[in-house]
């Protein structure tokens, strides 16, 4: 299929990647493009909506992912030697032992752009105030409550966090929106830039968490953290007598992740510590000969799967609230034949 024939139908920013696609991928792209222009995917019958979502995902995986840094692709291992999740996220992908592990580079969706001179134009405070500020209150209590916000932060604490630089940057709200900003100024640590030592993208950023859905907000992102959270009795994790997280003398919670936390996240961390311990009891009752280590590993597998299931077929479905997305997320978890809308 000649790219020139359909060039007027493709957005200028996408014409280069379109020209590199195979014949069938171009057909899929035009199908997606037509839906996107008319905002149709969630309004059509569910089977067509599912076809749209699957086609979009396939194209994005092929043409919208850029590797950063030297890949360990080809560093094979025997999956049978790693029956459980490792603390630092290694040995999940049988074709890439380090994929998604702690302190590996974030991938990208586009080439980096030097925007130092333009980064503050428009000012982030202005963008937040003009674009994101709530103009009128809308009650969404029948669909969501504050635990929804706690849940997604709990998930982010599982998946990702940029390594920070040591110095701080400060920004102040410009006069035009200062009266509308509760926080007039603040300081933060910028993301640390690291050389990738590769021929492609030269600068990258480390993920200091494990990227897998492995419950690391509960269990930690490395062996050192994980060891501090275990009782080493019947595979269980430490928890207070009151059912809440224990705290060190300095007030810091004993949990898998403590950065930028609050009561909502801590409650969910405590909840799944208790879930882990309950799973340990259930497994031990059925298999009394298992060791502390085996009970811990099996309970971690079960509990992290429960977390993933809640997010997939409960939280996401409730957030997006369409028949197509409900079917898609159930298909993601149960399989296509069980995804009744």
Structural domain includes residue 138: no
pLDDT at site 116: 74
Let me know whether 94 and 49 are in one domain: no
Question: Is 140 among the domain residues?
Answer: no
Query: Rounded to an integer, what distance in angstroms lies between the CA atom of residue 3 and that of residue 16?
Result: 9
Per-residue confidence (pLDDT) for residue 1, from 0 to 100: 47
What's residue 56's pLDDT? 94
C-alpha span between 173 and 37 (Å, rounded): 36
Residue 2 lies in a domain: no
Q: Are residues 178 and 263 in the same domain?
A: yes
Cite the active site residues.
157
CA pair distance 125, 183, nearest whole angstrom: 10
- 136, part of any domain: no
Residues 151 and 46 in one domain: no
Specify whether 124 is located in the same domain as 29. Answer: no
Looking at the fold, whether 115 and 264 belong to one and the same domain comes out as yes
Q: 59 and 85 in one domain? A: no
The domain containing residue 38 runs over which residues?
13-64
Overall domain count for the chain = 2
**Same-domain check for residues 222 and 257:** yes
> Do 52 and 95 reside in the same domain of the chain?
no
Is the CB of residue 267 less than 8 Å from the CB of residue 157? no
Examine the domain organization and report whether 42 and 161 are in the same domain.
no
Q: Is residue 93 part of a domain?
A: yes
Residue 146 Cα distances to 141, 209, 246, 317, angstroms? 9, 25, 23, 16
Residue 288 shares a structural domain with residue 183: yes
Quick one: pLDDT at residue 3? 52
Question: Which among 27, 48, 64 is the end of a domain?
Answer: 64
**HEC per residue, the chain:** CCHHHHHHHCCHHHHHHHHCCCHHHHHHHHHHHHHHHHCCCCCCCHHHHHHHHHHHHHHHHHHCCECCCCCCCCCCCCHHHCCCCCCCCCCCECCECCCCCCCEECCECCCCCCCCCCCCCCCHHHHHHHHHCCCCCCCCCCCCCHHHHHHHHHHHHHHCCECECCCCEEEECCHHHHCCCCCCEEEECCECCEECCCCCCCEECEECCCCCCCCHHHHCCCHHHHHHCECCCCCCECCCCCCCCCECCCCCECCCCCCCCCHHHHHHHHHHHHHHHHHHHHHHHHCCCCCHHHHHHHHHHHHHHHHHHHHHHHHHHHHHCCHHHHHHHHHHHHCHHHCCC
Judge if 115 and 100 occupy the same domain.
yes
**Cα 299 from Cα 218, distance rounded (Å):** 12
Structure token digits, residue 166: 């040591």
Is 7 within a domain?
no
Q: At which of 23, 43, 64 does a domain end?
A: 64
Q: Assess if residue 139 is contained within a domain.
A: no
Residue 301's CATH number:
1.10.640.10
Question: Are residue 88 and residue 23 in the same domain, yes or no?
Answer: no
Over its length of 341 residues, how does the chain's per-residue pLDDT go in tens digits?
455 566 667 888 888 888 889 999 999 999 998 888 888 888 899 999 999 999 999 999 999 988 898 766 556 677 777 888 899 999 888 888 888 999 999 999 988 888 777 878 888 888 888 888 888 887 766 778 889 999 999 999 999 999 999 999 888 888 888 888 788 888 999 999 999 998 889 999 999 999 999 999 999 999 999 999 999 999 999 999 999 999 988 889 999 999 889 999 999 999 999 999 999 999 999 999 999 999 999 999 999 999 999 999 999 999 888 999 999 999 999 988 776 55
């Amino acid at each position: 299929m000649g790219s020139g024939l359909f060039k007027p139908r493709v957005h200028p920013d996408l014409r280069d990647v379109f020209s590199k696609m195979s014949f069938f991928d171009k057909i899929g792209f035009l199908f997606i493009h037509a839906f996107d222009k008319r905002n149709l995917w969630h309004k059509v019958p569910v089977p067509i909506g599912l076809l749209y979502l699957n086609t979009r995902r396939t194209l994005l995986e092929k043409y919208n992912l850029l590797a950063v840094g030297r890949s360990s692709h080809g560093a094979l291992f025997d999956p049978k030697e790693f029956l459980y999740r490792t603390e630092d996220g290694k040995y999940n992908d049988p074709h890439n032992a380090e994929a998604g592990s702690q302190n590996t580079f974030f991938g990208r969706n586009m080439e980096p752009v030097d925007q130092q001179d333009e980064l503050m134009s428009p000012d982030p405070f202005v963008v937040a105030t003009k674009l994101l500020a709530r103009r009128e209150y809308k009650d969404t209590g029948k669909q969501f409550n504050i635990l929804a916000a706690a849940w997604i932060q709990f998930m982010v604490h599982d998946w990702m966090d940029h390594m920070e630089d040591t110095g701080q940057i400060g920004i102040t709200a410009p006069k035009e929106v200062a009266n509308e900003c509760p926080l007039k100024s603040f300081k933060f640590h910028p993301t640390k830039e690291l050389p990738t030592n590769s021929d492609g993208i030269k600068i990258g950023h480390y993920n200091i968490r494990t990227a897998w859905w492995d419950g690391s907000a509960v269990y930690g992102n490395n062996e050192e953290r994980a060891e501090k959270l275990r009782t080493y009795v019947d595979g269980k994790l430490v928890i207070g007598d009151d059912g809440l997280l224990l705290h060190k003398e300095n007030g810091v919670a004993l949990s898998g992740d403590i950065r930028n936390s609050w009561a909502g996240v801590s409650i969910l961390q405590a909840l799944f510590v208790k879930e882990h311990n309950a799973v340990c009891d259930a497994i031990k009752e059925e298999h009394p000969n298992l060791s502390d280590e085996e009970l811990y590993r099996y309970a971690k597998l079960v509990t992290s799967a429960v977390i993933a299931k809640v997010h997939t077929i409960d939280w996401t479905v409730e957030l997006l609230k369409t028949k197509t997305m409900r079917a898609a997320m159930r298909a993601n978890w149960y399989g296509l034949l069980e995804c009744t809308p």
